[in-house]
A and B are shown apart, each in its own frame.
Chain A
Amino acid sequence: MNAEVYEEEYSVDGKEFVSIGIASTKIKAALKMLGIPSDLIRRASIVAYEAEMNVVIHGGGGLMKLEVHPDFIQIVARDEGPGIPDISKAMQEGFSTATEKIREMGFGAGMGLPNIKRNSDRMEIISEVEKGTEIRVAIDLRNKD
Chain B
Amino acid sequence: MKLCEVIDALNSEVICGGDGERNITGVITGDLLSFIIGEAQEGEIWVTIQIHLNVAAVAVLKEIPMIILSSGREPSSELADKCQEENIALIVVKESAYEVCAKLKELRVES
Query: Which chain A residues have a beta carbon within 8 Å of chain B's beta carbons?
Result: 17-21, 24-25, 42, 45-46, 49-50, 53, 105-107, 109-112, 114-115, 118
Q: Which of B13-21, B53-61, B87-95 contacts A (4 or more CB under 8 A)?
A: B53-61
Interface residues on B, range: 20 to 34
Q: Are B78 and A109 in contact (CB under 8 A)?
A: no
B71 shortest CB reach to chain A, Å = 15
Quick check: A25 and B52 within 8 Å, CB to CB? no
Residue contact B38 to A118, C-beta cutoff 8 Å: yes
Say yes or no: B54 contacts A20, CB within 8 Å: yes
Residue of A nearest to B36 (CB): A106
Which B residues, 1 to 51, have Cβ-Cβ distances below 8 Å to chain A?
31-35, 37-38, 48, 50
Top-6 shortest CB links A-B: A111-B34, A21-B57, A109-B32, A109-B34, A106-B33, A18-B53
A contacts with B: majority SS: helix
Report the minimal beta-carbon distance from B23 to chain A, rounded to whole angstroms.
18
Which of B34, B48, B54, B58 is most buried by chain A, counting CB atoms within 10 A of its CB?
A: B34
* Beta-carbon contact of A106 and B54 below 8 Å: yes
A20 and B58 CA atoms in complex are apart in Å by 10
Q: Find chain B residues with CB under 8 A from A42 CB.
A: 61, 63
CA A93 – CA B52 in complex, angstroms? Answer: 24
Contacts of B55 in A (CB 8 A): 106
